[in-house]
Amino acid sequence: MASLKDLRNRINSVKATRKITKAMQMVAAAKLRRAQEAAIAARPYAERMDAVLGNLARGVASPEGASKLLVGTGSEDTHLLVMMTAERGLCGGFNSNIAKLVRLDAKRLIKAGKSVKILAVGRKGADNLKRDLGKFITDRVSLAGLKSVGFEQANQVADKVMTGFSDGEFDVCTIYFSKFESVISQKPTALQLIPASLPEVKGAEAEAESIVYDYEPEENEILDYLLRRNISTQIFRGLLENAASEQGARMSAMDSATRNASDMIDNLTLIYNRQRQAQITKELIEIISGAEAL
């Protein structure tokens, strides 16, 4: 049985923990708002890009002359998995959920006889996969010390992907990130980057957009330019979604941690009071029975 002093110490330490988790929750909430705004502000660019790209790609009649980024290299033996995770933990299942999805896909591809390369963006995911898939991690990008993700970081990742692709290091590239659905729900998502997966255009929209454009320079050149830009855009979008998801996950994780700490303090306080009461009673009985004996 723990002594009163032990109990008191425990209550104090849990209280200190609760203060920390509470503070982290509030920091995450503030950061979440900013991350969410950034993700929303970045949407128009990606949407326009998608629309123009969709228009152009449909206009490309012959797949032979088209860019490899659009139609692929013709084989799919080597896969590059770009895993985007956070630099920090303490955010619930955020990092491990993404890593789990990557692990699942990587194992499936390996089983099917393909070779797999993993580009790890952010430290946590790489740590998670180190034990069983560590030898497949070919490259890392660190996001440490950044206040917010900018397009520069996306470009940095995109450059690695593009160089790798033009050097023929892989045939298919997929990015993994966590899609921000709401504060309590983040969905790990895989998105194929190369060959490009184009958005489905709905019937009415397609008709409305069937304006015949003039192209400067040639159509194919523009398409090629856009496909390259599209890679950084998609990566940027993934990074932003990830940033919002991370803060959301951390906020709810810290919220439940704070609640758990409060419950624990209540329990401990109850035990402490009972024990204190028992001790007082015991002392009284000792005094009374001592007096009676005289």
Partner 1 sequence: MAGTFKFELVSPERILMSVDAQQVIVPGAEGQFTVLQGHAPVISTLLPGVIHVTTEEFKKTIFVRSGFAEVTADQLTILAERAFIVDEVDPRHLDDELEAAQQALDSADTDDARLHVTRAIEQLKALIGEAA
* Long-range contacts of 132-139, Cβ-Cβ distance < 8 Å, separation of 24 or more: 132/103, 133/103, 133/106, 136/106
The CB-of-247 to partner 1 minimum distance in angstroms stands at: 18
The DSSP call for residue 74 is S
Q: What is the dihedral of CA 17, 19, 20, 25, to 10 degrees?
A: 120
Contact partners, residue 277, CB within 8 Å, separation at least 6: none
Minimum CB–partner distance for residue 149 and partner 1 (Å): 10
From residue 131 to residue 170, the character string flagging contacts with partner 1 as x (rule: CB under 8 A) and all else as - is -------------------xx--x----------------
52 contributes a contact to partner 1 by CB under 8 A: yes
Distance of alpha carbon 97 from alpha carbon 127, whole angstroms: 13
- Which of 32, 56, 231, 244 forms a contact with partner 1 (CB under 8 A)? 56
User: Of the candidates 95, 233, 242, 245, which one interacts with partner 1 according to CB under 8 A?
Assistant: 233
Q: Which of 69, 70, 84, 91 is flagged as catalytic? A: 91
Does 217 contact partner 1 by CB under 8 A?
Answer: yes
Instruction: Decide if 173 is catalytic.
Output: no
The count of chain residues that interact with partner 1, using the rule CB under 8 A, is 27
CA proximity to 50, closest of 234, 207, 249: 234
User: What's the distance, CA 178 to chain centroid?
Assistant: 4
Of 13-42, binders to partner 1 (CB under 8 A) are: 38, 41-42
Please give the structure tokens belonging to residue 291. 């007096």
Query: Whole-angstrom Cα distance, residue 157 to residue 179?
Result: 18
- Residues acting as catalytic residues: 91
Query: Applying CB under 8 A, which residues contact partner 1?
Result: 38, 41-42, 44-45, 48-49, 52, 56, 150-151, 154, 211-217, 221-222, 225-226, 229, 232-233, 236
